[in-house]
Amino acid sequence: MPSVEPGSDKSASSPKAGTADNISAAERELYGGRLRYDQSSSSSTAIRRTVEKYLGRHPGEREALAGLLAALDRPVDATARTTLPGQITCSAVIVDRQGRVLHLRHRVTGEFVLMPGVRIAPEDRTLLAAALRATVEEAGIAPNALCLTRQLLGSPIDIGVHDEAAHPPIGEPAHRHYDIRYVFYLADEELPTIARPDEEGSAAQWLPQAEVASPTLRAKLLAARLDGQPEPVNASVLIYDATGRYLLHLRDHKPGVVWASGEFALLGGGRTHDDQSLEGALMRELSEEVPDLRLEDVTPYAVEAATSIDGLSVPVQVFSGRWRGTDRLRLYEGVLLHWFTLDDLDRLRLDAATRDLIHRHAAENPPGIAPDAAPPVWDGSNKAVLNGIGVHLHLEDPEGRVLLGLRHPDSKYAGDTWHYPAGRCEQEPALACLVREVMEETGLVIDPADVELAHVAHVVDAAGVLPLMQLVFKARRWEGVPKVLEPDKCLTWKWWPQHALPERIVPYTRTAIAAISEGRHYSQLGW
């Protein structure tokens, strides 16, 4: 399957495997990133974190959950059956394609009620896993028949509070249940068969959300606008180059903890509540995992089905994007990255669905046919490679201040950073490119006769990126006032004193400004 996984707070520490709190970072793995949802482990500390996040969304319920918070603060196992006067359970709220909620017939009263919760067991990796166990034990619904929702991801929708009567046969007095509820959609259109071995006849009803008896849950369901239609909350990317190779990620070897442990997979990750889109989630994950990777032409390719480490059905949005660089990149998750040809795939520990996906993409995108096919990859050796040519305008006003533009935060290069008016040479002379780029970006008119070459910076921006020869020209005269003509690339133009340049400035731009003032004509950076 495509390698994507819902992620985790990367600022969190990584506890030792095997401890009660070990469901963080790599432990919350599903596919290729790390689990950011509130799928905390079942220790009191982790449950407390989940409850506090929940109260951050619903602060008005703190008083109602005071007893739960007090129980979690006591130096005992809050999940034990003997922990009274309150006990913690987990349950599932299942929504079908018509937006209806599953109700089960109560074994005693015969009324149709929400699915009962189950007490957390030692084998439950997470609270969400306990809720999934409830779907199996209470309704015979396997986790692979369910999927997460975009609105809630893996966060609980509600914490119900209700009183339980005493059970004298087992010596259990009256007590209170705190039920942590998770929402799931049906992965398929067909309603599942409800299997309750101790009952005959119909044991289930699907009721509209407005008829859910719990007032707190009913209000949250309606507010979340849960329509029951599954959609991807995970994203991965097929990274390929002009020669037909694919970049694959070797995952950490943590059997039972990491999905596809020790296998090659696609890079990617899970959407968080802060991500505005799946593509945004993917780009955030890549920036955190492989910060030097700059993809081109990122486009949606396919939606693939996968299965999470808890058995959930996971629809994954697969993107495709080209990378012209090396595979020797800084990697903050997993073991390594490596380019592979199609002939290599059968030799790898690679999920069959991922292998088929790559072959399908390769058949639709054969190498060497793109008119803008990538140049050879530079691997850091001394062999001959193409060098790109960039042009830049060094412009000084009568006070000696230099013109710089603040690049848009979403710019592919140097976002939220100050830089010269600049551009990359196409099929044209460098001076013609300079005149064109300056006019397009600023509206300034310059005559090539008024321009001279002031500095050359030979730059390697990042490991594996092809070198660039950055030509900095100085104009003696110009016409017009700088204007923002490409707001998607530049936010503003400003004249800066050369002794007080902004802190966030492209490094070779700063170098060039200093060199020009000192009369130096050449510099090199990144080699």
Q: What is the pLDDT of residues 242-267, one digit of tens each?
A: 889 999 999 888 876 666 778 999 99
| Whether 200 and 303 share a structural domain | no
| Whether 210 and 270 share a structural domain | no
Instruction: Please name every residue paired with 156 in a beta bridge, in sequence order, or none if there are none.
Output: none
| Whether 45 and 115 share a structural domain | yes
Picking from 189, 224, 259, the residue at the C-terminal end of a domain is: 224
Report how far residue 249's alpha carbon sits from residue 265's, in angstroms, rounded to the nearest whole number.
5
| Whether 218 and 292 share a structural domain | no
Picking from 224, 248, 279, the residue at the C-terminal end of a domain is: 224
Q: Within a 10 A sphere around the Cβ of 70, how many other Cβ atoms?
A: 11
Of 57-71, 75-89, 417-431, give the lowest mean pLDDT range.
75-89
| Whether 253 and 153 share a structural domain | no
| Whether 168 and 264 share a structural domain | no
pLDDT tens-digit profile of 319-328? 999 988 888 8
Asked if residue 11 is part of any domain, the answer here is no
* Percent of the chain residues topping a pLDDT of 90: 46
* CATH label of the domain that carries residue 301: 3.90.79.10
At residue 358 the predicted structure's pLDDT band, cuts being 50, 70 and 90, is very high
Picking from 295, 329, 364, the residue at the C-terminal end of a domain is: 364
Q: How many domains does the chain have?
A: 3
Please enumerate, as own/partner, the contacts of 511-514 that have beta carbons within 8 Å and a separation of 24 or more: 511/457, 512/392, 512/394, 512/420, 512/454, 512/455, 512/457, 512/470, 512/472, 513/394, 513/402
Q: What is the DSSP letter of 350?
A: B
State the average pLDDT over residues 353-359: 94
pLDDT tens-digit profile of 381-398? 556 666 778 899 999 999
User: Strands (DSSP E) along 341-401, which ranges?
Assistant: 388-394
Q: Are the beta carbons of 486 and 436 closer than 8 angstroms?
A: no
User: Strands (DSSP E) along 258-378, which ranges?
Assistant: 264-265, 267-270, 296-307, 313-322, 336-340
Report how far residue 194's alpha carbon sits from residue 200's, in angstroms, rounded to the nearest whole number.
11
Asked if residue 5 is part of any domain, the answer here is no
| Whether 360 and 452 share a structural domain | no
The token duo for 385 is 């490679």
What SS3 class is residue 141?
A: coil
Q: Is the pLDDT of residue 12 over 80?
A: no
pLDDT at 37: 36
| Whether 215 and 267 share a structural domain | no
| Whether 322 and 422 share a structural domain | no
Give per-residue burial for 183-200: e unless 16+ CB within 10 Å, then b.
bbbbbeeeebebeeeeee
Q: Within a 10 A sphere around the Cβ of 302, how many other Cβ atoms?
A: 14
| Whether 173 and 34 share a structural domain | yes
Asked if residue 230 is part of any domain, the answer here is no
Q: Domain limits at 190?
A: 25-224
- Taking the complete model, does pTM exceed 0.75, yes or no? no
Asked if residue 493 is part of any domain, the answer here is yes
| Whether 320 and 246 share a structural domain | yes
pLDDT at 371: 40
Write phi, then psi, for 218 (nearest 5 degrees): -60, -45
Report how far residue 508's alpha carbon sits from residue 459's, in angstroms, rounded to the nearest whole number.
8
| Whether 210 and 299 share a structural domain | no
User: Strands (DSSP E) along 326-385, which ranges?
Assistant: 336-340
pLDDT at 86: 67
Report how far residue 338's alpha carbon sits from residue 377's, in angstroms, rounded to the nearest whole number.
13
